[in-house]
Structures are given as structure tokens and as C-alpha cells.
Structure 1
Amino acid sequence: MSLRICVLLWPRSGRDTELHDYEDSVLPLLADHRGAVVARERVVRASDADPAELQVIELADQDSFDSYMRDPRRIALDDRRSAAIERTQILNLE
């Protein structure tokens, strides 16, 4: 059974570019955890209430997602993430 999620990302004020750059660094790691990006889109924001980026990600299972989240290479970039990303929402998809 596969796991499909939608990730919504909101930047810290004025940090849209840093958000996208951070994601450029960590999303390739998904391949090492039996995952892949199905879609990645920049959102045309009508207001700051809208996310700046939307991702649809597919992984083999919950263990694959958990492994990705614990990846030391990803964790090593937590400072960049904290500086760029204000909020993240993850939605499970059918």
C-alpha cells in the first residue's frame, strides 16, 4: 500500500525564495526512502494566508515517510528550514 500526501508550505515573511531553495535540497532525498514527488507547484498567492508551495508526494508506506523525516541529511538542514518556513500542513490523500 502506498502513502500519498499533500504538503502545503508557508514562508516566513519575505522568505519565499529560501523556502523553495530549502525544498530543492531536501526533496531529492525522498528517492532514498522509496518516495517521489508527484507534483510540485508554486502557488499564486492572493494573500499571506495562502501557502507558497504545494507538493504531492508518494511513498511506499508510513515507515518510508518516517525514515525520510529522520534522515540525518534532512535534519542537518533544520536551521535553513526554520529560517525559511513559517508553517507546514500535511494532508493524507486517497
Structure 2
Amino acid sequence: MSALTLCCLLRAVPGQEAGLHRYEDAVLVLVADHGGTVLQRAVGDGGDGQPHEVQILRFPDATALDGYVADPRRVRMADERDRVVARTDVFPVDLRT
């Protein structure tokens, strides 16, 4: 099994930018419980259709990612997520320097 590095682009429901960041503050704490790491979080203003937040996450393997996605604590936050997050795009990346 190989590590997964993911890029997540998040766009807030209009007027819910602060709520998106609060939700992400809460849910990203769970990543470590599944062996993952939040490598980077970048916050933008969402202007011109750009994301409000960009995250780079690493998980040891797909099983760890699946565990994070299915974590009951994360699932319980789904209503809040739906209220504040308009769109999420997640895709695998290779980091280069």
C-alpha cells in the first residue's frame, strides 16, 4: 500500500465563509486519528470563483482515508458541512519542490 496525498479545494456557501473555516477546524482534527496529516491549509477570499480554502492532506493508504471519511464523529457533522460548504473538489497529487 502506498501513501495518498490529496488536494482539497473548498468553496463556501455565500455568507458562510467563517462557518466553512470553523467546520474545517473541527473536522481536520480527526485526520490524525486515522494516521493522516494535514500538510497545509491555505485560506483565500474566494474571489472570482476561487476556493475559500485549499488543503493538502496525506494518508498512509486508502484504508486510512476510508476510515476518516466514515468516522462517526465526522458523519455527525454532515449537516453543518452541508450548511456551510457549497463545493469540495478532492484529487490526488504528487508534491514536488
Give TM-score scaled by structure 1 length: 0.95
Where does residue 28 of structure 2 map in the other structure? 27
Identity %: 35
Give RMSD over aligned pairs: 0.8
Unaligned segments of structure 2, at least 5 residues:
none
Where does residue 38 of structure 1 map in the other structure? 39
Where does residue 3 of structure 1 map in the other structure? 4
Where does residue 82 of structure 1 map in the other structure? 82
Look up the equivalent residue of 1:89 and give its one-letter code.
Answer: D
Question: Per-residue deviation at 1:44?
Answer: 3.8
Query: Moved runs in structure 1, 4+ residues, more than 4 A?
Result: none
Look up the equivalent residue of 2:15 and give its one-letter code.
Answer: G
Question: Per-residue deviation at 1:91?
Answer: 1.4
SS of 1:27's equivalent in the other structure is: helix
Give TM-score scaled by structure 2 length: 0.92
Unaligned segments of structure 1, at least 5 residues:
none
Q: Structure 2 CA distance, aligned partners of 1:46 and 1:30?
A: 28
Question: Per-residue deviation at 1:78?
Answer: 0.6
Where does residue 52 of structure 1 map in the other structure? 52
Number of aligned positions between the proteins:
93
